[in-house]
Amino acid sequence: MTVNEKPLPPGPRGIDAAKFLFNSTRDFKKPMSEMAIEYGEIAHVRNRGRDFIVVSGHEAAKHVLITNQDNYRKGLEYELLRIVLGEGLLTSEGETWRKQRRLVQPMFAKRYLKNFTAHMTRATAEVLEGEPFADLPDGEVVDISEAMMALTLDIVGRALFGADLSGKTARKVGPAMNDVLSLGTKMTRRLPTFVLAHMPGMNLKKAISVNPEGRRFQRALEDLKSVIDELLAERSRQADPGDDLVGLMLSARDEETGETMSREQIGDELMTFMLAGHETTSNALAWTWRRLSLNPAARERLFEEVDTVLGDRIPDMDDMDRLPWTRACVEESLRIDSPVWTVGRQALDEDEILGYRIPKHASLMVLISMIHRDPRIWPNPEGYDPSRFLPENAKGRPRHAFMPFGAGRRVCIGSTFATVEATLLAAMIGRHLRFDLPTGAEVEAEASITLRPKHGLPMLVFHRRPGPVPDEMPEPDLAAV
């Protein structure tokens, strides 16, 4: 039987298909997850002659992202991201992507990561000694999502840009970045993949600008780009380019052509790292503190590990191997609350997956959040159990069953940076602070480009150093959040 004689994957038809398409414009993640649960690890729906496929099994995902990755390009939803990120590594294709990857990949080698790590830990130490935590009375409510956002933005500024993004610049960048992400979420819902498929040649920038939210989105984007332009202009005037990411990009040359990166290329990559580089890590940390609050035994073990390993000193890159439980806590959070919850692809040609036909030009969504909950790989998949990621327990597990940063050639170039950052920050913060969810607090996740707390993540803050942790927690003032 030839490929075109194979059956299409199962999925909703008729009224059920129309219901799925309607619900997807309101909450994209839930209907896709329900479709995967009902129809299996590869499911299909058709709308106006366009094929949309949900991939939720690790073997099918491996085929799309690794085994036959040459047949799958970035999905149509990346057209929206391209408006924000330009032709950076996350959105570019073909030779443009290959050239940029070749230039940028060496910048994340271990010798540079050690330098980046020093910036990470220095920024974290200063945050712990300053706002919002140093003078906070025990039991105060803080939006941990917002606090982690501010911290990781500062780290991106120092480690990657050689600039302090914690002061005046942060007051400009922070709100602008929040507008870009939150308004981008709304536009993603209004223009999901199957809607974009019916808009060939559509001028998305023009379509976005027709309403007040779209114009606000564009103003916020211009604010972010102006910060990047100012940083680049200032650094270009310096004789020494420096050893942060900007400096490395300014001095980088393509080994094959000898060409340097244009100012526009560097700007696109910096925008990518500023948005993607801090958003995913801050969400990972916020979700980790929430999970640890709900699992006090795991949290206590983390406290014991960081107290023993770090003492009063600031960690460095070499401490990663000495903090296996802390890293496992972060990785288990990345599994169960994956900030990157889905990856979109488009089939360049007809294909076959698990005996089903994948039509040419079909849009595919690989549901990382569902792959991370496959009970065949992850016993008690909804339970938070960091011991899954201890070295002795991870042996024999398929590598592609855990893909918080994607997989294949297009795996996130900053995956090691993000893992090191989240682990060392969790260790440093856990050395000094404890976070508890207020009684009765409800946390809602919002799934768009990333999985983030929809209305923030209010948590009670207690100081572990100095002074003992009180036995009883005061009632929180939720109105303060």
Greater confidence (3 vs 302) lies with: 302
pLDDT at 383 over 70: yes
Q: Yes or no: say if 283 and 339 are a contact pair by the CB < 8 Å rule.
A: yes
Residue 81: Cβ within 10 Å count: 21
Greater confidence (173 vs 52) lies with: 52
Q: Yes or no: say if 203 and 81 are a contact pair by the CB < 8 Å rule.
A: no
Residue 443: Cβ within 10 Å count: 16
pLDDT at 11 over 70: yes
Domains of the chain: 3-480 (1.10.630.10)
Q: Which of 84-100 are b and which e, b meaning 16 or more Cβ less than 10 Å from the residue's Cβ?
A: bbbbbbbbbeeeebebb
- Average confidence (pLDDT) over 185-212: 56
Residue 424 CA to residue 15 CA, distance in Å, equals 50
Q: What is the pLDDT of residues 102-120, one digit of tens each?
A: 888 888 887 788 888 888 8
Band the pLDDT of 21: cuts 50, 70, 90.
Answer: confident
% residues pLDDT > 70 (the chain): 85
Helix axis angle for 263-294 and 212-236, nearest 10°, is 110
pLDDT value of position 312:
85
pLDDT at 478 over 80: no
Q: What is the pLDDT of residues 391-436, one digit of tens each?
A: 899 888 998 899 999 999 888 888 888 999 999 999 999 999 999 9
pLDDT value of position 209:
63
Q: Which of 136-155 are b and which e, b meaning 16 or more Cβ less than 10 Å from the residue's Cβ?
A: eeebbbbbbbbbbbbbbbbb
Q: What is the pLDDT of residues 134-168, one digit of tens each?
A: 778 888 999 999 889 888 888 877 777 776 666 55
pLDDT value of position 450:
82
Q: Yes or no: say if 74 and 93 are a contact pair by the CB < 8 Å rule.
A: yes
Q: Yes or no: say if 349 and 71 are a contact pair by the CB < 8 Å rule.
A: yes
Q: Which helix (H) or strand (E) holds 60?
A: helix 58-62
Q: How far lies 267's CA from each of 94, 148, 231, 465, in Å?
A: 19, 25, 10, 41
AA identity, residue 1: M
Residue 147 CA to residue 414 CA, distance in Å, equals 22
- Average confidence (pLDDT) over 325-337: 97
pLDDT value of position 481:
34
Q: What is the pLDDT of residues 352-373, one digit of tens each?
A: 999 999 999 999 999 999 999 9
pLDDT value of position 276:
74
Q: Look at the alpha carbons of 197, 89, 397, 390 in this order and tell me if their dihedral is positive or negative.
A: negative
AA identity, residue 87: E
Q: Yes or no: say if 276 and 313 are a contact pair by the CB < 8 Å rule.
A: no
Band the pLDDT of 469: cuts 50, 70, 90.
Answer: very low
Distance separating the N- and C-terminal Cα atoms of the chain? 61
